[in-house]
Structure formats: C-alpha cells, structure tokens
Amino acid sequence: MPRLLAFIRRNESRLSTLVFLTGFITDLITFTVLDLPAVNLLFLAYLVTAACFIFLTHAFQRFADRPSGWQRTIATLSPLGAAFTIGGLLSGFVIFYTKSAVLSVSWPFLLLLLGIFVGNEFARSYRAHLAFQTVLFFFALYAYLIFAFPLYADRLGERIFVESTTAAAVIFFGFLFLLACTGFRRLTQTLPYILTGTAIILFTIPYLYLSGIIPPLPLALKDQGVFHQVVRTQDGYQVTFEGGARWSRYVERTIHHVPGTPLYAFASVFAPRAFSTNIVHRWQRYDSRHDVWVTESKLAFRLTGGRKGGYRGYSIKNDPAPGLWRVSIETVEGQVIGQMRFHVVNVAAPPKLYMQTR
C-alpha cells in the first residue's frame, strides 16, 4: 500500500487526467439511458461527492508527505475522486448542452472542455491542482443550477437565470468558507487563482446566455424538418416531403419549390411535465451580397411539456425566394434549441412527394 500511494503521488497529475477521462466516458454512456428526474438526482449526487472530495483534499493535504497512515491515504486518493466525479458531471453537461443545439451554437462549450483537459495536465502542484479543481467545481455547480432552476420553476427567462447565478455564487462562496475553516493559510495561497477563475466564469456564462449560445435546458429538440405541407390529423401531423424519409439536421437539404406555394417548418420540442414557455420559429434568408442572415418572418407559439415525443408545432413561409435559408427554433430570449438549413430551388413542376405521420 505505501508503494502504491507513493506511485500515485508521483504521477498524480497524469492519473488525475486519466481518471477524469474515465469518469467522462463512463457517464457519457450512463446519462444517455436515464430519464430526466434520474439525471437531475445524479447531477446533484455528483456535485455533493465532488465537493466532499475537494474538501478532503484540502483538509488532509498536510498529511500527504507522511510515510504511512490513513490520513495520507485520504490525501492521496481524494484528488482522484474529485477528478472522477467532475469528469462525470461534465459528460452529463456535454449531452444536455449539445443535445438540441447545432455545432455552431455549442462549440464554446466544447472548446471549454478542451481547455479543461489542457489545464488538468498543467495542474501538477497541490496549489495549482486545488485551484483548478475548485474553479472547475464552481463551473459544474453553475452549469447544474442553470439546468435545475428552470426544471423546478417550470419556466425559462432572464429572472430564472439571474436567480441561478446568484445561488451558484452564494453556494460556492459558502464552500470556500468551509475550506478556509480547515486551513486558511493554505487556502490563501491558492485563493487569488480561485477568485480569478470564478470571476472569468461569472463573466463568460452570462455573456454566452445573453448571446443565445447556451441551449435552453431542459428543452430538447426531438424532431424537425422543412416540408411542402403539414396537416394536423387525429393521428398526429401528416407531413409531405421529397427525397428520403427523414430530415437530417446535419445536412443542408435542397427543397424543390414551385413558385407561389408555401413551405412549412415542423419541429417537436421536449419539455418536462408542467413546463410551459414560448418558442419561436425564425425564418432567415442568407444575403450573400452583404454576408448576413436576414430575418424574413417569425412565429411564436406556446409550448406545453409532458409529451415524451415532444410538443409539436409548425410555421409557414409563403412563397420563399430561391437561395439559402435557415429556420431557427428558439426561445423568446433568443436561445437556440435547434436549426435547419436548406437551399430553395424554384422548379416548374413539383418533385415526387411522400407522406408520413409524425
């Protein structure tokens, strides 16, 4: 056992990265098979566990260099426990923050994950490691509360976001107070780095939210498509389309359009039971001359949660002009749930069409 602990101490940074990655991959699989209530409880359990491991890392650090003893064991293994649980948290956030968003919306979060892996490799000393994991814990806490507050309040909006931000700051500074009680002098050595990282997160996350980059959890896109016709029937929504049987959110489709006829944008958005909010279909045409997207029309309607397959709705664009188009499914605050890009090509006769009920 002493040799194993000595090996872990010598290779703590690399082992922490490996454990972090293991937790990330393990829960990347786990989170995909759990329902929303179970995911919420798992997030909460991971946060509490990560806080305990970080607390133990700080409280027992003075025993890390002892030749033996249970205190040394805790001091050696606690950083690895924190790395595993934080990795699990981040894998859950990857699923939920990118589930209903296109890559152009979610790339800042993926870039942040890359920064986490790089930072974890450079955090070799105790002070750097504690600062890094503590700031990462604050990020995980903040990301969870952005998801949890709308879930409990059954609504979205700037007020809910401000409340989640305030709660994250209060809880985190209370956690720092507990760390100070167990070793104030050691904490002051890392406190400037922790506060700097916290300030960066408190600036970056609201900026991403106000810019519409952060997806509006707990909403999730279940289905989408641009069709030649959408009709509501007793069995669901009957859609008329050309080509393959399904719409791909990752491929720019070509829509062969007869001038004078409309196109329909259909989307199904999941929301928890009792959840209610407004969503918007924003039709935009690409202006190649000025290299900008021009909003041609938008339609807002009320979303009611509870249906497993998502709340279905559609919007109509009368006689769209030829060119590149996109339809964004958004909240009224501008957060993007999903997006469809397609080319409109005018033709004299309609293409071969198919029907499907969704």
Q: What is the pLDDT of residues 50-68, one digit of tens each?
A: 899 888 887 777 655 555 5
- Interval 159-188 mean pLDDT: 90
Residues 335 and 246: beta-carbon distance below 8 Å:
no
184-210 and 126-153 helices, crossing angle to 10°: 40
Residues 242 and 333: beta-carbon distance below 8 Å:
no
Winning range, highest mean pLDDT, from 12-21, 71-80, 201-210, 267-276: 201-210
Q: How far apart are CA 90 and CA 20, in angstroms?
A: 10
**pLDDT category, 80, cuts 50, 70, 90?**
confident
Residues 55 and 117: beta-carbon distance below 8 Å:
no
pLDDT tens-digit readout, 246-262: 544 445 688 999 999 99
**pLDDT category, 168, cuts 50, 70, 90?**
very high
Choose the weakest-confidence range: 71-80, 194-203, 299-308, 310-319: 71-80
Question: Of 24 and 214, which is predicted with more confidence?
Answer: 214
**pLDDT category, 358, cuts 50, 70, 90?**
confident
* pLDDT tops 80 at residue 170: yes
**pLDDT category, 2, cuts 50, 70, 90?**
low
Q: How far is CA 161 from the centre of its chain?
A: 14
Give the chain's length.
358
- Interval 3-11 mean pLDDT: 53
* pLDDT tops 60 at residue 280: yes
Residues in CB range of 151: below 8 A, 6 or more apart: 36, 40, 217, 218, 272, 275
Pairing verdict, β 336-346 and 253-257: parallel
CA angle, residues 107, 112, 116, in degrees to nearest 5: 150
User: Taking all residues of the chain, what is their mean pLDDT, rounded to a whole number?
Assistant: 79
* pLDDT tops 50 at residue 245: no
- Interval 88-111 mean pLDDT: 64
Residues 43 and 152: beta-carbon distance below 8 Å:
no
N-terminal to C-terminal alpha carbon distance within the chain:
60
* pLDDT tops 80 at residue 33: no
Winning range, highest mean pLDDT, from 301-305, 335-339, 347-351: 347-351
Q: Report pLDDT for 136.
A: 85
Percent of the residues in the chain that have a pLDDT greater than 70, as a whole number: 73
* pLDDT tops 90 at residue 320: yes
Q: Report pLDDT for 66.
A: 56
* pLDDT tops 50 at residue 28: yes
Would you tell me how many other CB atoms lie within 10 Å of the CB of residue 247?
Answer: 18
**280 backbone dihedrals φ, ψ, rounded to 5°:** -125, 135
Give this prediction's pTM: 0.74
* pLDDT tops 60 at residue 11: no
DSSP 320: P
